Structure 1
Amino acid sequence: MRRVEIKLKDLLNERGIEQKKLAEMTGLTERTISELVNNKVKRVPKEALEKIADALDIDKMSDILTFVNEETAE
């Protein structure tokens, strides 16, 4: 079975941005950012994805989200 995984942790590490800074950049709470970074959410609000994409200057959704097989997921 496949599931959606948020690649936010990798994006932040690549760009040297802390979760707190992304929260400030997006207006999202630090808790929300933490839950997204750690893939602890069942649903991701469209508005949150849009704010993150704007803040990180991302044009392709595949830069933020990916499908993973549950058998191979960490």
Structure 2
Amino acid sequence: MTERATPLPNWRKSSYSGPEKDSCLEVQDHHPTAVPVRDSKVPGGPALLIPAAGWTSFVEAVKRGALSA
């Protein structure tokens, strides 16, 4: 699900985002039920809200190398 970005504090660049300026993913840590994700190049654009359990599964898969490019 997507929603228009609202002024949420504490956006941070994801540690899994690439070092290139053009591939920056930001996440917001303090949403009560989901992990908002956005493109840092478009901070006023939409944010993808990923349920917390889904985000945890995604991060674990990235750490295991289970996802291919």
TM-score above 0.5: no
TM-score after normalising by structure 2? 0.33
Structure with the larger strand share: 2
TM-score after normalising by structure 1? 0.31
